[in-house]
């Protein structure tokens, strides 16, 4: 199926996709706050600019969108048009994510990835986040 939007309009539309303060991120932030943990947001001095940073614990949480970061779920669809572009884009995103986690680990920071689809089951997410932050 051909793209019905002009390249300029498609670029504008994709540019409006949020990078910070997304709904899944807000769900995780509210949950972590209810669990009694305090955090900082988007620290630029850390690799990958983690979504939630727990400086005293030396731990970070990334909240990844399933589509953009290629989680193995039904939200990680691949657009039919311009497949080569999208494949390169997704590969670069995944490589950048791996490098950020590796660099954080090298610096002595623990990291956890919360996927967008995981934010639907708040109880399971609370258990996973709590376990990560307390061990």
Statement: residue 1 has pLDDT above 80: no
Residue 19 has pLDDT above 60, yes or no: yes
pLDDT in tens, 26-81: 999 999 999 999 999 999 999 999 999 999 999 999 999 998 899 989 877 888 88
Order the strands of the 110-115 sheet from edge to edge.
40-41, 52-54, 59-64, 110-115
What whole-number distance in Å separates Cα of residue 21 and Cα of residue 27?
10
- Domain ranges within the chain, ordered by starting residue: 17-134
**Predicted local confidence at residue 46, as pLDDT:** 98
Confidence of residue 14 (pLDDT cuts 50, 70, 90): low
| Fold assignment, 17-134 | Endonuclease; Chain A (3.40.960)
Round to whole Å and give the CA distance between 51 and 48. 9
pLDDT tens figures, 80-118: 888 898 899 999 999 999 999 999 999 999 999 999 999
Residue 52 near residue 29, CB atoms below 8 Å: yes
**Residues 6+ away with beta carbon under 8 Å from 97:** 48, 62, 64, 69, 113
3-state secondary structure of 111: strand
- Nearest C-alpha neighbor of 112 from the set 2, 7, 32, 44: 32
Are 129 and 61 a contacting pair, CB within 8 Å? yes
């Amino acid at each position: 199926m051909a793209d019905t939007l002009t390249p300029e309009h498609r670029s504008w539309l994709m540019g409006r996709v949020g990078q910070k303060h997304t709904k899944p991120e807000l769900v995780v932030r509210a949950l972590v706050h209810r669990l009694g943990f305090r955090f900082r947001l988007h620290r630029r001095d850390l690799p990958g600019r983690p979504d939630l940073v727990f400086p005293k614990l030396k731990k970070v949480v990334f909240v990844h969108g399933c589509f953009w970061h290629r989680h193995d779920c039904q939200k990680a669809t691949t657009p039919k048009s311009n497949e080569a572009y999208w494949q390169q884009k997704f590969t670069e995103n995944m490589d950048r994510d791996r490098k950020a986690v590796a660099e954080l680990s090298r610096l002595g920071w623990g990291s956890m990835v919360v996927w967008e689809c995981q934010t639907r089951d708040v109880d399971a997410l609370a258990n996973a986040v709590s376990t990560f932050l307390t061990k």
